[in-house]
Amino acid sequence: MKITIKEIAAISGVSTTTVSQILNNKGQRFSEETRKRVLKAVCEYDYNPDYFAKNMVHRESKTVGMIVPDVTDLFFSKVIEGVEAYFNKKDYMILLCNSRHSADKEKDYIKQLQNRSVAGILLASPNSLKLESDLKGSPYILIDRGLNTRAEGNLLVKEYSGVYQAIQHLIDNGHTQIGMLTNESGYYEMTERFEAYYQCMKDNGIKYDPTFLADGPVTIEGGYLAAKELLEKRIITALCCGNDQMAIGTYRAAYELGLSIPNDLSVVGFDDLEISSFLNPPLTTVNQPAFDIGYTAAQYLLQEIEQPNKVVPNKTFETTFIERGSTINIDK
Amino acid sequence: MKITIKEIAAISGVSTTTVSQILNNKGQRFSEETRKRVLKAVCEYDYNPDYFAKNMVHRESKTVGMIVPDVTDLFFSKVIEGVEAYFNKKDYMILLCNSRHSADKEKDYIKQLQNRSVAGILLASPNSLKLESDLKGSPYILIDRGLNTRAEGNLLVKEYSGVYQAIQHLIDNGHTQIGMLTNESGYYEMTERFEAYYQCMKDNGIKYDPTFLADGPVTIEGGYLAAKELLEKRIITALCCGNDQMAIGTYRAAYELGLSIPNDLSVVGFDDLEISSFLNPPLTTVNQPAFDIGYTAAQYLLQEIEQPNKVVPNKTFETTFIERGSTINIDK
DNA sequence: CTGAAAGCGCTTACAG
DNA sequence: CTGAAAGCGCTTACAG
């Protein structure tokens, strides 16, 4: 068992009150002599106040929970990195929960986290709207979820304008047969991205054809399967993928079907993962600042925790279209 | 504030002892009637014993710490997934720490975790040997670190035989000018992989040439830079990369230098990340079971926690050479 | 079958 | 300048 404040007190010949006060820089000045004596004992025996006992009285767990749909997802792992970076500076630690896209698990995790008296919860989930009532009671921030029922603390990403720009770019380069890989399981941003695709086509007078769409999980494998299905059935010159991971899957599908990117097929993604610029050819995509999103979410959550009455601002993150080698001009 | 056991007791007109006993299925049978009454109140007010108070007496934090060098690393995120999958079943939660490859940070994290009375620590680090003395006191398992000073609980991966096989495969296919991308910052497995390369070359009578080596961080970017440096200075027909991420970087370097994979350059990686089979061409690599490694590490740690006197076995994970499209036979 | 009391390791009024 | 005592919310001997 670890050494206790009582023992430190005994060793240095003072009361526990004194030890506690000195350690917390509280109360009146103690004689330099006793301070030294206490500090020496503390140091010597490597005394650290017990976390649980301390929390019994203070109720500051200095812990937040973070729930993500998939830790191995390249976008989310970058978000986690941002969250961790901020909270680490603030002496908070993160209980990481991997929900595997399951709303039930998310619900369980929220419950568990609340039972542990976490100071707050960061939730990244397509189901977050349904879960907001469960979240009540603890401060929380929703990540990767534009709209929610609150007026503040919303982190928005310009999904729409990013994709719109990408589609416009394709059209400007002579493409009209443009497909899209979507995901209809409830990710708000996927809906936004589709809307942008739809609207941009429309604005350019290109008729919308639902057979140019394929749906699948937002993973490499999901993109591969969706792309394969789509490319086998329709002839298109460009494909807008729901995210970079799906684009990576598309590369493979194209390869297997003997289509060369970008010559036979232009491809654009969304996210601008680190890996995307290393693909062959480098992926044209839309950048969103994953690390920053996590970092900011963490920052907002801490504000909610520490200053519950202060209004948490909303924040909109820019997206940037990045042209690389996977798209080509097909006008003669 | 949450509702307390005292209030539940008051509401159901019994003592806190009774409530506690009933909730924990302890003690003598209580009359069916009082059980019901208590349970009803518990349910109605959604009472949950306070985590900290409970721990004050039980000291079972049901929490483990996990320290990884980089959460965005594709190998580690897979390991995390495995760890989480196991502990979630066991009602444990994970405090995730991202050390960013810094030994100082690792040390801090260990300290912090211990102060929080975690039940155990999972450490993935090239510095783990140096840190073992800090770890003393809590149960721990080292991940991704073949040898340590302990006789038990070692997780070994057959790094050596995997790479040996890969190199032999290259040689059998006519390659003799084989380069390697290494990392000398202390990762045990990187050393193992290099050793295998070295030995296999030697066993096949190919003279070892240190200029066929390039060193760099075990990331995509690191692989890109190292490969570029190497490929610009030496003509080689095959390159063995320290891991798949470095191989991905190599694809880009080759692309920029106008080298076609596999025609101008055969490439092999290590890890068999999900993404690797989707590369263009699909990467020839050596599979190691990242998820399993995490899962098993978690399992072993839990055993150490729950049965401190029982010997934790050692376990060796197999690696499998997987031939895909990035290597070619260059014999006529 | 049930409850009063002690104790887990801290912190914090309060008193001197 | 310092300490005795109460209290945080539980659980667990112990007693009846």
Please give the pLDDT value at position A90.
Answer: 96
Q: For A251, which of B95, B97, B280 is closest by C-beta distance?
A: B280
How many angstroms separate the Cα of A109 from the Cα of each of A22, A63, B84? Answer: 38, 14, 12
Q: Is A280 on the interface with B (CB under 8 A)?
A: yes
| Per-residue pLDDT tens digits for B100-151 | 999 999 999 999 999 999 999 999 987 777 788 888 888 999 987 766 667 7
Q: Within chain B, where are the H helices?
A: 5-12, 16-23, 32-44, 51-58, 74-89, 103-115, 128-135, 159-172, 188-203, 220-233, 244-256, 290-306
Q: How far apart, in whole angstroms, are the C-alpha atoms of residue B227 and residue B212? A: 10
Candidates A52, A115, A278; nearest CB to B252: A278
Q: Which residues touch strand D (CB under 7 A)?
A: A 13-18, 21, 27-31, 33-34, 53, 56-57; B 1-2, 4-6, 16-17, 19-21, 23-24, 26-27, 47-50, 53-54, 56-58
Asked if A95 and B97 come within 8 Å (Cβ–Cβ), the reply is no
The whole-angstrom distance between A115's CA and the closest CA on chain B is 6
Say whether A248 and B221 touch across the interface (CB within 8 A): no
**Interface contact flag, B72 A72, Cβ < 8 Å:** no
Dist CA A50 CA A20 (whole Å): 12
Candidate from A81, A117, A278 with C-beta closest to B52:
A117
Segment B47-85, tens digit of pLDDT: 999 999 999 999 999 999 999 999 999 999 999 999 999
Provide the CA A33 to C1' D3 distance, Å, integer. Answer: 17
The amino acid at A106:
E
- Estimate in Å the CA B21 to C1' C3 gap, whole number: 12
- How many angstroms separate the most distant Cα atoms in chain A? 91
DSSP string, A224-289: HHHHHHHHHH---SEEEESSHHHHHHHHHHHHHTTPPTTTT-EEE-SB--GGGGGSSSPPBEEE--
Copy the structure tokens of residue A102: 């399951």
Residue-range domains of chain A with CATH: 5-57 (1.10.260.40), 61-155+290-313 (3.40.50.2300), 159-288 (3.40.50.2300)
The whole-angstrom separation of Cα B304 and Cα B153 is: 9
Which of A84, A278, A293 to probe the B interface (max B CBs under 10 A)?
Answer: A278
Gap between the Cα atoms of A191 and A211, Å rounded: 17
Backbone φ and ψ for B30, nearest 5 degrees, come out as -100, 160
Q: Is residue A250 within 8 Å of residue A241, measured between CB atoms?
A: yes
Residue linked to tokens 């060369």: A260
Q: Give the nearest chain B residue to A83 (CA atoms).
A: B98
3-state secondary structure of A324: coil
Q: CB distance from A3 to chain B under 8 Å?
A: no
B260 touches chain A (CB under 8 A): no
Total Cβ atoms within 10 A of residue A154: 19
The verdict on B257 touching A (C-beta cutoff 8 Å) is no
The mean pLDDT of chain B is 93
More confident position, B154 or B303: B303
Verify whether the Cβ–Cβ distance A282 to B117 is below 8 Å.
Answer: no
Residues 6+ apart with CB under 8 A from B210: none
| Backbone torsion region of residue A274, taken as left when φ is above 0, otherwise alpha when ψ lies between -120 and 50, otherwise beta | alpha
Contact B117 A51 (CB under 8 A): yes
* Burial class (CB within 10 angstroms; exposed 0-12, middle 13-18, buried 19+) of B31: exposed
Q: Let me know if B35 is exposed, middle or buried by CB neighbors in 10 A (0-12, 13-18, 19+).
A: middle
Report the nucleotide nearest the CA of residue B18, measured to C1'.
Answer: C2
Bridge pairing between strands B285-287 and B315-317 = unpaired
Contact B252 A280 (CB under 8 A): yes
- Chain D bases near protein Cβ (<7 Å): 1-5, 7-14
Q: Do A275 and B277 touch (CB under 8 A)?
A: no
* Angstrom distances, CA of residue A173 to CA of A176, A206, A279, A330, A332: 9, 14, 22, 6, 10
Q: Which of A98, A117, A277 to mutate to test the interface with B (most CBs of B within 10 A)?
A: A98
How far is the C-alpha of B249 from the C-alpha of A275, rounded, in Å?
A: 8
B positions 105-124 inside 8 Å of A (CB): 112-117
pLDDT tens digits for chain A (332 residues)? 689 999 999 999 999 999 999 998 876 678 888 888 899 999 999 999 999 999 999 999 999 999 999 999 999 999 999 999 999 999 999 999 999 999 999 999 999 999 999 999 999 987 777 788 888 888 999 987 766 667 778 888 999 999 999 999 999 999 999 999 999 887 888 999 999 999 999 999 999 999 999 999 999 999 999 999 999 998 999 999 999 999 999 999 999 999 999 999 999 999 999 999 999 899 999 999 999 999 999 999 999 999 988 999 989 999 999 999 999 999 86
User: How near does any CA of chain A get to the CA of B228, in Å?
Assistant: 13
State the helix-helix crossing angle for B74-89 and B244-256, rounded to 10 degrees. Answer: 150
Sheet containing strand B63-68, strands side by side: A140-143, A120-124, A63-68, A93-98, B93-98, B63-68, B120-124, B140-143
- Provide the CA A18 distance to its chain's centre, in angstroms: 45
CA A65 / C1′ C14 distance in Å:
38
Parallel, antiparallel, or unpaired: how do β-strands A155-157 and A315-317 relate? parallel
